[in-house]
Amino acid sequence: MNASGLSPDQVTLQARARELAAGPVAKRAAEVDRSEQYPWDNVDLLKDARLLGMTIPTQYGGQGKGWLDAVLAIEALSAACAVTGRIAVETNMGAISAVMAYGSEEQKKMAADMVLSGDKPAICITEPDAGSDAGGMTTRADKKGNRYVINGRKHWITGGGVSRLHLIFAKVYDEEGTFEGIGGFLAIRDETKGLKIAKREPTMGLRGIPEAVIDFEDMDVPPSSLLIPPRGLKKGFADLMTAYNSQRVGAATVALGIAEGAYQLALDWSEKRHQFGRPINEFQGLQWKLADMSIKLSAAQALVYNAARSGEGGFPDMLLAAQAKVFTSESAIQVVNEALQFFGARGYSRELPLERMARDVRMFTIGGGTAEVLRNVVAGALLKKKLPQTRDGWAKD
C-alpha cells in the first residue's frame, strides 16, 4: 500500500517493523498458531526493536510517539503474524494509554515499567451476561473501610494468564451500598489475592494469545488502585470509552495488516501459478478481484491513518475510530477470503498461511465493539444524540 504523508522518521520506523515482520516474526507465525503458545520471544524482538511502549511519554521511559507511529508498526507486524500485531496494539494502545492519560504518577510509573519490560496489559470489561451492553456489568467493587473488595466474573479477556497488569471495570458502591458508577481498578496478577484465571477459551484464530475467563473473588485492593474513579471530573466509564478509541484503531490496524499480507501473497501467486498455459493473473476475473481488493485496502488504510492522526495529543476521534474499525474489519475479511480463493486447494491447506489468516481476521468485527454496535456509535455521532438500545429508552444514566 502507498502510505502518503509520512515523515522520514515514520518511514524509518515502518521499514524497521517491516524487516522484523518479514524475518523472524513471519518465520514463527505458523508455529505460534499451532502451539497456541504466547510468543515471548517475539515480545523480546519487539522490545529490542523499540516497538513496545512507543506511545509512553519520554518521562516514563517511552518514546512519546503518536498513534500513527504505533499504527505503522502494528500494520507491518500483522501482515506476518496477527498475534504479534496484537501484542504491539496492547503495549501501545488501550489499557496502557488509559493509565498514561488518567493515572497518578505512581500508576504511570508502574504501568510504564511493566510494559517496557514486556508486559501486555489486560483490559477486563466483558462479562458472560454483559457484552455489547457493557454498562450492564455485575462485577462490583464495595468500599469497605480503606479498601475496595471486588467480586465478579469477566470473560474473553485477552492475555488472561500471560498478562500481569489488569485494568478491571466494576460497578462501585460506597460503604452504605449506594451505587457510584463504573470505575476502573489496576491489579497485578500473582500479586493480588482473589484474581483467578478460571479457563482459557478455545479460539478459532489468534491462538497465540490466550482469551480467558477471570474470576475476582473477594479481591481486596486499596483506593490507590482506582485508575478511573466512577464520579467527579473523570467521568469513569466515559473516560474509558474515550481511551478505548485508540484500541479500536489498533484493532482495525491488525485487520488491515492481515489483509495486506494476504493480498500480497495472492498477487505474487497470481503471477507464479499457470493454468491454461498462462499466469492466472491474465484472467480478467482475477484481475478484477485484485482491483477490488486493492481498492478496499487503500480505503481502509486511509480511514485507519486518518483516525490515528485525529488523536494526536489526545485520543482518536470516536466517530473516525468507529468508522475505521467497521469498514476495515469487514473489508479485511472479504480481502482475505478472496486471497485464499486465488490459491485454489492450496489456500485450504494448513501448510500455507491463508487459512490461518482467514481464522485470525474473522475476529475483528467482534472484539473491541462489534460492527453492529459500532454502527450505532457512528449513527449516534452523526445524529448528535445518544441512541438508547433498551426498551425503556435507557432512562437511567
Nearer to ligand FAD, 213 or 308 (CB): 213
| Closest approach of ligand FAD to the CB of residue 153, in Å | 12
Q: Which of 326, 333, 269, 322 is nearest to 82 (CA)?
A: 333
d(CA 159, CA 76): 21
Give me the helix-helix angle, 82-90 and 40-48, nearest 10°: 60
Binding characters for ligand FAD, 211-250, by CB under 6 A (x = yes): x---------------------------------------
d(CA 227, CA 244): 14
Residue 380 touches ligand FAD, criterion: CB under 6 A: no
Residue 363 touches ligand FAD, criterion: CB under 6 A: yes
Q: Which of 102, 156, 269, 343 binds ligand FAD (CB under 6 A)?
A: 156
Neighbours of 248 (CB within 10 A): 31
d(CA 52, CA 54): 5
| Closest approach of ligand FAD to the CB of residue 185, in Å | 14
Quick one: which segment of 24-32, 285-293, 319-327, 368-376 binds ligand FAD (CB under 6 A)?
Answer: 368-376
Nearer to ligand FAD, 63 or 126 (CB): 126
Give me the helix-helix angle, 237-272 and 354-361, nearest 10°: 160
Nearer to ligand FAD, 12 or 389 (CB): 389
Residue 81 touches ligand FAD, criterion: CB under 6 A: no
Residue 199 touches ligand FAD, criterion: CB under 6 A: no
Q: Strand 147-158 and strand 140-144: pairing? A: antiparallel
| Closest approach of ligand FAD to the CB of residue 16, in Å | 27
- Copy the grid coordinates of residue 89: 496494539
| Closest approach of ligand FAD to the CB of residue 95, in Å | 9
Residue 123 touches ligand FAD, criterion: CB under 6 A: yes
| Closest approach of ligand FAD to the CB of residue 213, in Å | 11
Nearer to ligand FAD, 158 or 281 (CB): 158
Quick one: which segment of 124-132, 183-191, 215-223, 326-334 binds ligand FAD (CB under 6 A)?
Answer: 124-132
User: Is the CA virtual torsion 346, 350, 352, 355 positive or negative?
Assistant: positive
Residue 29 touches ligand FAD, criterion: CB under 6 A: no
d(CA 242, CA 93): 12
Quick one: which segment of 39-47, 212-220, 306-314, 363-371 binds ligand FAD (CB under 6 A)?
Answer: 363-371
Grid-cell match 500471560, residue found? 162
Give me the helix-helix angle, 67-80 and 82-90, nearest 10°: 160
Q: Where are the beta strands (DSSP E) in 231-346?
A: 274-275, 278-279
d(CA 153, CA 393): 27
Residue 124 touches ligand FAD, criterion: CB under 6 A: yes
DSSP-assigned beta bridge partners for residue 219: 150
Query: Contacts with ligand FAD: how many residues (CB under 6 A)?
Result: 21
Give contact residues for ligand FAD (rule: CB under 6 A).
123-126, 131-132, 156-158, 206, 211, 363, 366-370, 372-373, 376, 389
